[in-house]
Amino acid sequence: MPDEQQTAAGGCGGVPEAGALLEKVPLRCQAKGILLYLVTYTSESFKVKGYLAVPQDVPLPAPAVIYCRGGIRKVGMVRKRRLLAMARRGFVVFAPFYRGNEGGEGRDEFGGDDRYDVCHAIPMVQSLPEVQPGPVPLIGFSRGAIMAMLAARECEQAGPVVIWGGVSDLFDTYEERVDMRRMLKRVVGHPRKQPEAYERRSPVYWIDAIRVPVMIVHGTGDTQVSVEQARKLGQALEAAGKDYTMELYDQLPHRFPKEADERALDAIFAWIRDKLDRVPAELSAVPLAKLPENSQDHSVILGKRR
């Protein structure tokens, strides 16, 4: 059984550095062949929590992925079964709750300074003995798309990014989701009074800064995040000459039914493995932004996946 608590200290006065693993507590897990933990790590000056799922039926160390949840606070909280489904594909999976959630310190800012909770999760995950060296892919669901794309823009060891049912333009979300306006005005501000705060949380406005491959997955029947946000992101990536692919699932809602969800996960992890395999071993510790331009392959897949 792994240690239930690990503490990493550094910097001044023994204060743990950002991205330090503080605690790793085993949790009961009904899924065979997967170990589940509640992890506490440092992000800036805060202690942040998240779930870690480690597959046991694959050779370790294994590749890792960080799952960026959607919603805010109790809405859209990380679901254990979602992590287990990903871990069954042979990946160590970490899902930060973000600051201010589930006993974590600080305040959830919906893509503000809490973006560092994803950035600092990357070195923490890379430090785990169960994880193989190299860039860490990100999967951003719904609001998590903002977090994943911000991390891809700002964090050197962020790997390829999957945007699933993701927000790409928060101005559009404000217009589309009347039920979210009160929360957005309280947490982010008003789009006319604080437009810069909305732009900072809208990847379509800074797509030139993205230097890693992107996969877009979206259901055309999504009423929570319009499929037009996926199309807008795809158009921005295309115009910027980025490496991306898009899969639109006909008539599917925000959360896919089980069979379609499994198909989508198969496609996502096949794409992630392909992108990781293209990173030369000697460059695995180099920021993906520095890989050669000719590694791009502008592929677009539209329509119903069969």
Could you give the residue numbers annotated as active site? Answer: 142, 254
**Which of 85, 100, 105, 213 lies closest to 159 in space, CA to CA?**
213
Give residue 213's identity as a one-letter amino acid code.
Answer: P
- What is the C-alpha separation between 237 and 230, in angstroms, rounded? 11
Q: How many C-beta neighbours within 10 Å does residue 77 have?
A: 14
